Structure 1
Amino acid sequence: MQLKPISQQVVAVVGASSGIGRETALQFAKRGASVVVAARSQPGLESLVEEIRQAGGEATAVSADVAEFEQVKAIADKTVATYGRLDTWVHASATAVFGTVEQITPEEFKRVVDVTLMGQVYGAMAALPYLRQAGQGAFISISSMEGRRSLPFQSAYSTSKHGVEGFLEALRVELHHEGVPISITSIKPSVINTPFYNHGRTKLGVKPTGIPPYYEPSLVADAILYTAEHPVRDFIVGDVGRVLDVVQRLSPGLVDSILTAVGFPLQKTTEAKSENDSNNLYEPVSEDNRIQGDFGQWVIPSVTDWIDKNPVLKWGTVAGALIGVSALAIAAQVFNQDGEL
């Protein structure tokens, strides 16, 4: 499957007013793409479009709540009406309620699912007809490592991200069966330093935080731009996410034990915050359109992202690891047979 160079693409970025979505829109525009940005926060969108245009880029804004299909469809319609086609759809919208299952109301849980899961479903339904018309393209879903491993205090968000993974798997096979050249990618960030933890509703009595370490939003944007040109099924962002993925596959019970020990204290700050304080569950937090969050002191670099974007090196590393494991296995077998070796 061949995807266009970014400089020749028309890209829709949904959930673009802050955090990962905003950084991604800026990077697409910097690379020459025509960008349509969408979110609920009109001030955030206006400032983003102004920033892109001042840098010489091309951008258009659409205000939309992704929990409403018609509003999501309007993003796709506006993209094609303005630029003539759609090449890449990036879906980053999400919201969260931090608290135990018993603390979260049914209405709050449903709202998280409506935005974080159903918004992605609506995005695909809106984008796919236009991607088909273009003859190729990419649907890039910002999922999460919580789509692989759920966390305490984040049941609604984790449920939504697990649902996203199931949806993408079904969609990918359907398109493959039809021979439709549309790349379906799941980006799975580790803990990222965005305002996500400022914007979520909290039942904890304090402002929530991710389990450190954190990674920069630019790492996720880099992965998104890479997969907009290179068809990739899954892209985990952050070394810790890759370690978690392996450990979860090998021993979910071990991860249970680790999260029982650290998952509760490490997701709480000491800053008081009530569930009635500003949050984006039902309304945007229009005054906060930052890319980065409040936890820069816990940000670390990631090495394996670079390896994943260099397939030759990646498979060479895998082959080397397999050879090393095989050599150790042979040595162990010889030792067992001869005893004295």
Structure 2
Amino acid sequence: MSEQQTSGVVIITGGSSGIGLSTAQLFAQKGWRVGLIARGIAALDAAAESLAADPASVATAIADVTDGAALRQAAATIIEALGPVDVWINNAGVSTFAHFTNMSDEEFRRVTDVVYMGTVNGTRVALEQMRPRNAGTIVNVCSAIGLRGTPLLSAYSGAKWAMRGFTEAVRAELIAERSRVHISVVYPPSVNTPFYSHATARIDGLPRPPPPVYQPELVADAIHFAATSRRRDVLVGGQTVQLGLLNAVAPALADRLLASFGPRSMTSSNQGIADARDENLFRPTSRVSSTHGPFDREARSRSVQLWATKNRPSLKSALTFGAAVCGLMVVGRPR
């Protein structure tokens, strides 16, 4: 895939709700043919219907990303319908909110298998398609939690950190073989999606994203940017940048701050959140989900940080020009 490609075929795992569906909608709006992979047929059908008037531009396939053979078959079904895959997005995710010692072995393993091994399986299938053509981009959707582990989310934190390390290793291997296949990582902040309604909970209260919360369309924009610009990493939101910097510069302080404020900021007793509960750790959800969760009133739809990231070359040029003008003014000032 060239760095300026504006259309093609994109395959998205976990594409029937939340960030995955929002990303699918954005790619479809920009003229891409979209393939969606998820576990539930009803949700997939509803997602496909929402994407485009032309049914030939959308294909769906059922698979659990923990099953590599099923994922490979799902990809083959979509590719047969739409053509060779140009962009593969590993987005599927589940979680359990609980103190580590209150989480069962099965729950911990399931989160790890979906979030981490699902990414491994998806990357393997994508590379099988892309390496022979020496073209394509894989986008792994990580999290701010991949920059700093968070209490109540030990399994999810560990899986996202594993995803990050895995991606770095495979990227280096591709560079070593001079491959033109590119791997990018996107780090979303807290996002208003059904993720929190779907998560298993072993806590006092109900799971919620710690503020500030952003809308999924913003993350979809970042994923599309990562896929088409071939940027190595794309962080979304000032919260994500600050969390990564804090953990790099003062990890002990991060420990104390998250111990004090983390659990309180991640639980709620709101009835609207309770009404939206539909756990999906071990089974597909029983409802057709949307892109948004129950946090629209507080969610932000813009990020100055993401805008600056996308316009980095222009900002650099503007700053350089501004510095040059200031320098000329200083030099030319009468003495």
TM-score for the superposition, normalised by structure 1 = 0.88
Q: Is the 8 A contact 1:17 1:39 kept in 2?
A: yes
Aligned to 2:155: 156
1:174 equivalent to 2:173? Answer: yes
Q: Is the 8 A contact 2:98 2:203 kept in 1?
A: yes
Q: Distance in 1 between matches of 2:319 and 2:260?
A: 32
Please list, as runs of the form range in 1=range in 2, the aligned pairs for 1:1-341 lying within 5 A after superposition: 2-3=2-3, 5-7=5-7, 9-54=8-53, 58-271=57-270, 278-300=278-300, 301-315=302-316
Q: Which runs of 5+ in 1 are unaligned?
A: 324-341
Aligned to 1:332: none
1:14 counterpart letter in structure 2: T
Are the structure 2 counterparts of residues 134 and 314 from structure 1 closer, same or farther at C-alpha, using a change threshold of 3 Å?
farther
Q: Distance in 1 between matches of 2:37 and 2:186?
A: 19
Are the structure 2 counterparts of residues 101 and 53 from structure 1 closer, same or farther at C-alpha, using a change threshold of 3 Å?
same
Are the structure 2 counterparts of residues 57 and 255 from structure 1 closer, same or farther at C-alpha, using a change threshold of 3 Å?
farther
Deviations 1:33-69 (A, max 9, x none): 1111110121111011112233777100101111111
Alpha-carbon shift at residue 258 of structure 1 (Å):
1.2
Aligned to 1:329: none
1:97 counterpart letter in structure 2: T
Are the structure 2 counterparts of residues 318 and 155 from structure 1 closer, same or farther at C-alpha, using a change threshold of 3 Å?
farther
Q: Distance in 2 between matches of 1:286 and 1:25?
A: 21
Secondary structure of the residue that 2:290 maps to in structure 1?
coil
Q: Is the 8 A contact 1:307 1:313 kept in 2?
A: no
1:168 counterpart letter in structure 2: T
Are the structure 2 counterparts of residues 4 and 128 from structure 1 closer, same or farther at C-alpha, using a change threshold of 3 Å?
farther
Alpha-carbon shift at residue 5 of structure 1 (Å):
1.8
Q: Is the 8 A contact 1:308 1:314 kept in 2?
A: no
Deviations 1:74-105 (A, max 9, x none): 22212322233111101110000000001001
Aligned-residue RMSD, C-alpha: 2.3
Secondary structure of the residue that 1:37 maps to in structure 2?
strand
Q: Distance in 1 between matches of 2:146 and 2:66?
A: 19
1:302 counterpart letter in structure 2: S
Are the structure 2 counterparts of residues 4 and 10 from structure 1 closer, same or farther at C-alpha, using a change threshold of 3 Å?
farther
Q: Which runs of 5+ in 2 are unaligned?
A: 325-335
Alpha-carbon shift at residue 288 of structure 1 (Å):
3.9
Are the structure 2 counterparts of residues 238 and 317 from structure 1 closer, same or farther at C-alpha, using a change threshold of 3 Å?
farther
Are the structure 2 counterparts of residues 174 and 258 from structure 1 closer, same or farther at C-alpha, using a change threshold of 3 Å?
same
Q: Is the 8 A contact 2:226 2:233 kept in 1?
A: no
Secondary structure of the residue that 1:298 maps to in structure 2?
coil
TM-score for the superposition, normalised by structure 2 = 0.90
More displaced 10-residue stretch of structure 1: 101-110 or 124-133: 124-133
Q: Distance in 1 between matches of 2:198 and 2:266?
A: 15
Deviations 1:291-310 (A, max 9, x none): 01111222233101011111
* Divergent runs of 4+, >6 A: 317-320
Deviations 1:196-223 (A, max 9, x none): 1100000014221111010110111101
Alpha-carbon shift at residue 164 of structure 1 (Å):
0.1
Are the structure 2 counterparts of residues 318 and 75 from structure 1 closer, same or farther at C-alpha, using a change threshold of 3 Å?
farther
Secondary structure of the residue that 2:214 maps to in structure 1?
coil
2:86 counterpart letter in structure 1: D
1:167 counterpart letter in structure 2: F
Are the structure 2 counterparts of residues 262 and 86 from structure 1 closer, same or farther at C-alpha, using a change threshold of 3 Å?
same
Are the structure 2 counterparts of residues 41 and 213 from structure 1 closer, same or farther at C-alpha, using a change threshold of 3 Å?
same
Q: Is the 8 A contact 2:95 2:281 kept in 1?
A: yes
Q: Distance in 1 between matches of 2:169 and 2:253?
A: 29
Q: Distance in 1 between matches of 2:215 and 2:173?
A: 34
Alpha-carbon shift at residue 3 of structure 1 (Å):
3.2
2:186 counterpart letter in structure 1: I
Paired positions, count: 320
